[in-house]
Chains A and B, each alone.
Chain A
Amino acid sequence: MISIELKQTQVSPGQILRGDCYWQTNSDKEFQPATLKIGWRTEGRGNVDKDQFSQKIKLASLVSVPFEYEIPLNGPLSYDGQLIRIIWEVVVQTDQFWFGGEKEEKVFRVVSRLAKP
């Protein structure tokens, strides 16, 4: 089972998002290759637009894998409108395409620098 912990649930463009991901398994595997993706995607009536940063990581049982990502200054803010939602998220997915692949997502908000914390 993969779990993601974020140090902040709300960041602004230009700030750094920090977090850790963990992997817990009952198997004998020492390592599990996985992909960490951080980025935004749209949701709603329109076809999906997205932009993601992707990085290969190695998960080890009960070992924390820290990550950090600087939110681009020109990236969109989180948005919840009538036709469009813009969602920022961290996704960790094991590189295992057959039965038993794992995936975990954690949503966070990107807000204007003017917004009060």
Chain B
Amino acid sequence: MFKLQKIELRNRLIAGFPPSEIQLALEGYVLREDLKVQWQISRFTNPNWLFGLSITFIAIFILIFGFPILLSFSGVVWPVFVGLFLFLIVFWLVYWVVKLVLDKSARDEMGAKQGFLPAELIFSHYPLKVGENDRVTFRRRLKQNFWTNLFKVHHFPANSRLRVSLICMERVTYTKGTDTVTDVATAHENVIFSKTLIAGDREVIGHFDLEIPPHLSPSFEGKNNQIRWILEIEENYPGLIDLKMTYLTFVVDS
């Protein structure tokens, strides 16, 4: 599982993953998670899972619609493609309905995904500096909407857990023939916090100390070369969502 998460992080880094925007609020500097990206790396939309499902679709389609495919060779092409399209849509809808009815964890995750507000990190000062220490607050809130009511996700479980890793990664882009290739490498990785969260009804909070090791490099954003600092956050909400990874990129100054 750990290895898979690393691959996800690697893919996100390769895909771009620019340093996050930070906003100054009364409570400090607030860094928010990008939920769109988070949704993309959910296990329901994992690319490997989608690939497997697509292969299954095609296999079933060939079995059921073998005859129309043969017809397509005799000139009746468009009904085959319309049939394929409708079949995929119907299969997809049926799959989701069946999954949500039968699979409680899927219902919980759907409710949580729709009900979660973006994870937030609150820094007392920003950007962080190499060698400096900051007290950081992690916060996740739950909103109340149609989905949270439908799936009865009304509060965070009391024994929710948080695990935070500090990662420094190098990202390079280079030209190989006519292709542009991106590669990443881990320069530093350290688990800095692992603890049970303080759970309220619609909010969980965790506090941890973040120190950027003095011998390491600050963030660097070149056009083709970058050094990026990331907080990888693993959230565990028993009975709601088993595992959730959040990546927040922040800036370290010299």
The residue that B220 contacts in the complex, of A44, A45, A47, A86, with Cβ under 8 A, is A86
B223 at the interface (CB under 8 A from A): yes
B178 at interface, CB cutoff 8 A:
no
CB < 8 Å neighbour of B170 from A13, A49, A83, A114: A83
When each residue 216-246 of chain B gets 1 if its CB lies under 8 Å from chain A and 0 otherwise, what string results? 0110101111010000000000000000000
Nearest B residue (CB) for A42: B225
Q: Could you tell me if A49 and B225 are in contact, using CB atoms closer than 8 angstroms?
A: yes
Cβ–Cβ contact B225 & A114, under 8 A = no
Task: Please tell me which stretch of A52-60, A62-70, A73-81, A94-102 contacts chain B, meaning at least 4 of its Cβ atoms lie within 8 angstroms of it.
Answer: A73-81
Q: Mark B117-144, 1 if CB is under 8 A from A, else 0.
A: 0000000000000110000000000000
Chain A interfacial residues counted at CB < 8 A: 19
Are B174 and A79 in touch, CB under 8 angstroms? no
Which A residues lie within 8 Å of B173 (CB)? Answer: 46-47
How many of chain B's residues have a CB under 8 angstroms from any CB in A?
A: 22
Is B217's CB under 8 angstroms from A48's CB?
no
**Interface status of A106 (Cβ within 8 A of chain B):** no
| A9 within 8 Å of B (CB atoms) | no
- Shortest beta-carbon distance from B245 to chain A in Å: 23
Q: A83 to B185: give the CA distance in the assembly, Å.
A: 7
User: With A and B bound together, what is the CA distance between A81 and B225 in angstroms?
Assistant: 11
B254: Cβ under 8 A from any A Cβ = yes
Which of A76, A77, A79, A84 is B172 in contact with, Cβ under 8 Å? A84
What B residues does A79 contact at CB under 8 A? 217, 220, 227
State whether B172 touches A13 (Cβ < 8 A).
Answer: no
Residues of B within 8 A of A113 (CB): 254
Instruction: Indicate if B214 sits at the interface (CB-CB under 8 A).
Output: yes
Cβ-defined contact, A83 with B183, below 8 A: yes
Asked if B185 and A47 make an inter-chain contact with CB atoms under 8 angstroms apart, the answer reads no
Contact present for A47 and B175 (CB under 8 Å): yes
B170 touches A81 (CB 8 A): yes
Interface contact A76-B183, CB-CB below 8 Å: no
Residues B223 and A112 in contact, CB atoms below 8 Å apart: no
Q: Which residues from chain A contact B185 at a C-beta distance below 8 Å?
A: 81-83
Sample 12 A-B pairs with CB under 8 A, ordered by A number: A45-B174, A47-B172, A49-B223, A49-B224, A77-B217, A83-B183, A83-B184, A84-B225, A86-B225, A112-B131, A112-B218, A113-B254
**5 A-B pairs closest in CB distance:** A46-B172, A49-B222, A47-B224, A82-B185, A46-B225
The interface of chain A, by Cβ under 8 A from chain B, is 13, 42, 44-49, 76-77, 79, 81-84, 86, 112-114
What 16 new A-B contacts, CB under 8 Å, besides A47-B173, A47-B223, A47-B225? A13-B254, A42-B222, A46-B173, A47-B174, A48-B224, A81-B187, A82-B170, A82-B187, A83-B171, A83-B172, A83-B183, A83-B184, A84-B170, A112-B130, A112-B254, A114-B130
